[in-house]
């Protein structure tokens, strides 16, 4: 599956639109080589991934199935390079690797890595590629995963990179698990079409919303409602994509008025780690952007409540026991969809389908 970006310099690559970058990131059979941006995932690929994830979670229920899965990618090793806080995304990738038999290594604390001695990130990543066959990375820096993918694809040891969160910009695998959760939630009642998805919270700096908003444009007639205090409202670049794709959307700061129309409410945390001046977020009145018992009463009985987690107080714990609270199941879905993505990246899709067909 060796893929090299031969024909474009880094300077040229950066000038490409997200859609133009996509072909450089894919393998010939339409599956990702590097997974960097949500724009790589069209409708048929999303459906393929969801199917594979469903099969994997069924196969993993038996001991024989677990052993089969563990033999799939046992010849590859993965490096988790997480220079930003993470517990769930990190552990879900570790679990996904374990399910497929992929041994893992990690660097999480830059202060004890050679970067601290002044090694460039390019050299660090090339070092990882000497020992590993996949890099899963989370960084506070927008565009760094892309840069590293370009560096590796032009090195003598190209290996794939999966973006596990890059700056305020993209979080493609979170968007995959969110889409998978929506697909599963609505599969018995008409599927993911003709729905309203409401996003609430820090929509300006939350990367999960930016990636998910794009993925939802792959499904028919999904209206997107963005509920946030003015200074944290969704970015113009996201809206430009929706306009170009003729997707219905609405911006509001009236959460209570918006809730009754929602089929899914996607809550997010205030991302104050991005504040440029101290206490900037604390000055914003976010009290009306929280989900508690009063909001539950306004929500349709068939709607679901999602959150990428971690939460602070934007969803009251009193909501947790309501059957519409989907965030814990959403998190577990992340492990299965990431397992499917890694399996697909390493060419195991067909074998898993065959095993499933023969045994289920």
Residues carrying an active site annotation: 88-89, 117, 138, 171
CA distance 267 to 161: 28
Nearer to ligand NCD, 160 or 165 (CB): 165
Residue 156 CA, distance from chain mean position: 29
Answer whether 176's CB lies under 8 Å from 337's CB: yes
Total residues at interface with ligand NCD (CB under 6 A)? 10
Q: Would you tell me how many other CB atoms lie within 10 Å of the CB of residue 127?
A: 15
Query: In this structure, what DSSP letter does residue 140 have?
Result: S
DSSP 3-state assignment of 93? helix
Q: Closest CB to ligand NCD among 135 and 348? A: 135
First to last CA, the chain: 30
Phi/psi of residue 105, each to 5°?
Answer: -125, 165
Shortest distance (Å) from residue 39 CB to ligand NCD: 18
The answer to whether 52 touches 336, Cβ cutoff 8 Å, is: no
| Contact map string, positions 251 to 270, toward ligand NCD, x by CB under 6 A | ------------------x-
| 308 binding ligand NCD? (CB under 6 A) | yes
Q: What is the DSSP string of 326-358?
A: -HHHHHHHHHHHHHHHHHHHTT-HHHHHHHHHH
Q: Does 88 bind ligand NCD (CB under 6 A)?
A: yes
207 binds ligand NCD (CB under 6 A): yes
Question: In Å, how far are 44, 138, 298, 330, 331 from 86, measured between CA atoms?
Answer: 30, 8, 33, 17, 13
Indicate the residue among 152 and 162 with the shorter CB distance to ligand NCD: 162
Of the candidate residues 208, 211, 330, 333, the single one contacting ligand NCD (CB under 6 A): 208
For the bound state, the minimum distance from the C-beta of residue 72 to ligand NCD, rounded and expressed in Å, comes to 25
Which residue, 174 or 339, is less far from ligand NCD as judged by CB?
174
Smallest separation, CB 124 to ligand NCD (Å): 21
Q: Which residue has the tokens 């490409």?
A: 16
Max Cα-Cα span within the chain: 59
Among residues 197, 215, 309, 326, the one that binds ligand NCD under rule CB under 6 A: 309
What is the smallest separation between the CB atom of 92 and ligand NCD, expressed in angstroms? 9
Among 32, 65, 158, 165, binds ligand NCD (CB under 6 A): 165
Q: How far apart are CA 100 and CA 352, in angstroms?
A: 11
Q: Please state the separation of Cα 84 from the chain's center in Å.
A: 15
CB of 87 to ligand NCD, least distance (A): 9
| HSE value, Cβ hemisphere, 13 Å, CA-based, for 56 | 31
Output the smallest distance, CB 179 to ligand NCD, in A: 14
Residue span 137-156 as binding mask against ligand NCD, x where in contact by CB under 6 A, dash where not: --------------------
| Residue 174 within binding range of ligand NCD, rule CB under 6 A | yes
The residue (of 242 and 331) whose beta carbon lies closer to ligand NCD is 331
Of 88 and 353, CB closest to ligand NCD: 88
65 binds ligand NCD (CB under 6 A): no
- Spatial neighbors of 343 by CB under 8 A, at least 6 apart, are 52, 56, 72, 73, 100, 349, 352
In this complex, which beta carbon is closest to ligand NCD, that of residue 184 or of residue 269?
269
Query: C-alpha distances in angstroms, 26 versus 3, 6, 66, 155, 165?
Result: 8, 14, 28, 17, 19
171 is a site residue for ligand NCD (CB under 6 A) = yes
Residue of the chain from 40, 89, 166, 286 that contacts ligand NCD (CB under 6 A) = 89
Interface residues toward ligand NCD, by CB under 6 A? 88-89, 165, 171, 174, 207-208, 269, 308-309
């Amino acid at each position: 599956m060796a893929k090299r970006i031969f024909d474009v310099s880094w300077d040229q690559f950066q000038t490409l639109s997200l859609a133009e970058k996509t072909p450089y990131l894919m393998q010939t059979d339409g599956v990702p080589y590097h997974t960097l941006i949500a724009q790589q995932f069209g409708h048929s690929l999303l459906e393929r991934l969801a199917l594979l994830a469903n099969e994997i979670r069924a196969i993993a229920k038996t001991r024989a199935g677990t052993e089969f899965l563990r033999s799939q990618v046992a010849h590859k090793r993965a490096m988790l390079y997480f220079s930003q806080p993470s517990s769930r995304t990190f552990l879900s990738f570790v679990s996904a690797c374990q399910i497929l038999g992929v041994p893992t290594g990690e660097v999480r604390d830059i202060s004890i890595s050679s970067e601290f001695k002044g090694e460039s990130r390019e050299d660090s990543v090339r070092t990882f590629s000497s020992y590993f066959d996949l890099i899963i990375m989370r960084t506070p820096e927008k565009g760094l995963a892309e840069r590293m993918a370009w560096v590796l694809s032009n090195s003598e040891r190209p290996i794939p990179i999966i973006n596990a969160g890059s700056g305020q910009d993209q979080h493609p695998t979170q968007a995959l698990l969110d889409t998978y959760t929506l697909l599963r939630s609505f599969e018995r009642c008409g599927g993911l079409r003709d729905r309203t998805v409401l996003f609430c919270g820090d929509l300006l700096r939350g990367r999960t919303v930016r990636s998910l908003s794009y993925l939802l444009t792959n499904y028919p007639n999904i209206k997107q409602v963005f509920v946030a205090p003015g200074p944290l409202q969704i970015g113009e670049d996201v809206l430009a994509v929706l306009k170009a794709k003729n997707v219905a959307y609405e911006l509001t700061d009236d959460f209570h008025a918006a809730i009754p129309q929602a089929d899914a409410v996607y809550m997010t945390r205030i991302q104050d780690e991005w504040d440029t001046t101290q206490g900037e977020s604390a000055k914003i009145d976010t009290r009306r952007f929280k989900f508690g018992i009063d909001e539950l009463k306004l929500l349709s009985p068939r709607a679901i409540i999602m959150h990428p987690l971690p939460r602070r107080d934007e969803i009251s714990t009193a909501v947790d026991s309501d059957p519409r609270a989907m965030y814990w199941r959403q998190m577990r879905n992340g492990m299965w969809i990431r397992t499917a993505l890694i399996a697909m990246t390493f060419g195991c899709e067909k074998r898993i389908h065959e095993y499933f067909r023969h045994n289920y």
